[in-house]
């Protein structure tokens, strides 16, 4: 009983198979409309990413996702509609080798009009043809959406 398990996935950090790797734990929202996925690009960055972010101390996945999406996209998620999509892991963009990002993804409906916040320079609806513009986890997510025939 090392205190693991208080937040989803925390127990994985103590697993021997994780030795030598550092994890950046993120939550993300998969939004698909008209067979395209919504992605965002931060100010001063080149790569697009799936909207979301990191959990703050004491936050549940749902609380963190609702907060991050409000901050980035200026919409309110419909809490009752939030459902798990999947978990993706890849080398973290711009970080030392072995630093992995673990992206726990959800689907949800929202209320309001999507608009880029101050930290976001651009929002874009993309198909698999835009893969080269994405982060490593973004490519994994778009490949998964394509495999499930949810996007073009």
Q: What is the pLDDT of residue 96?
A: 87
Q: Please, what's the b/e burial string for 23-57 (b: 16 or more CB within 10 A of its CB; e: otherwise)?
A: eebbbbbbbeeeebbbbbbeeeeebbbbbbbebee
pLDDT > 70 fraction of the chain, expressed in percent and rounded: 87
Examine the pLDDT at 17 and tell me if it is beyond 50: no
DSSP string computed for 79-114: GGG-EEEEEEEEEPTTS-TTEEEEEEEEE--EES--
| Beta partners for residue 125, in sequence order | 38
Residue with tokens 């698999």: 128
What's this model's pTM, rounded to 2 decimal places?
0.82
Q: What is the pLDDT of residue 102?
A: 92
Q: How far is CA 36 from the centre of its chain?
A: 16
**What phi and psi, each to the nearest 5 degrees, are found at residue 31?**
-115, 125
Spatial contact of 90 and 68, defined as CB atoms under 8 Å apart: no
Q: What is the pLDDT of residue 88?
A: 94
Q: How far apart are CA 139 and CA 43, in angstroms?
A: 20
Spatial contact of 51 and 64, defined as CB atoms under 8 Å apart: no
pLDDT digit string, tens, across residues 35-47: 999 999 998 888 9
């Amino acid at each position: 009983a090392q205190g693991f398990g208080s937040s989803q996935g925390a127990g994985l950090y103590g697993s021997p198979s994780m030795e030598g790797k550092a994890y950046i734990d993120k939550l993300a929202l998969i939004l698909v409309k008209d067979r395209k996925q919504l992605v965002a690009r931060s100010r001063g960055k080149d790569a697009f990413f799936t909207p979301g972010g990191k959990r703050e101390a004491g936050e549940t996945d749902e609380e963190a996702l609702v907060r991050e999406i409000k901050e980035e996209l200026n919409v309110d998620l419909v809490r009752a509609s939030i459902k798990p999509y999947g978990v993706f892991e890849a080398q973290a963009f711009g970080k030392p080798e072995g630093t992995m990002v673990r992206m726990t993804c959800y689907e949800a409906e929202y209320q309001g009009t999507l608009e880029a916040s101050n930290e976001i320079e651009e929002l874009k609806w993309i198909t698999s043809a835009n893969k080269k513009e994405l982060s490593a986890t973004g490519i994994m997510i778009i490949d998964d959406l394509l495999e499930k025939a949810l996007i073009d």
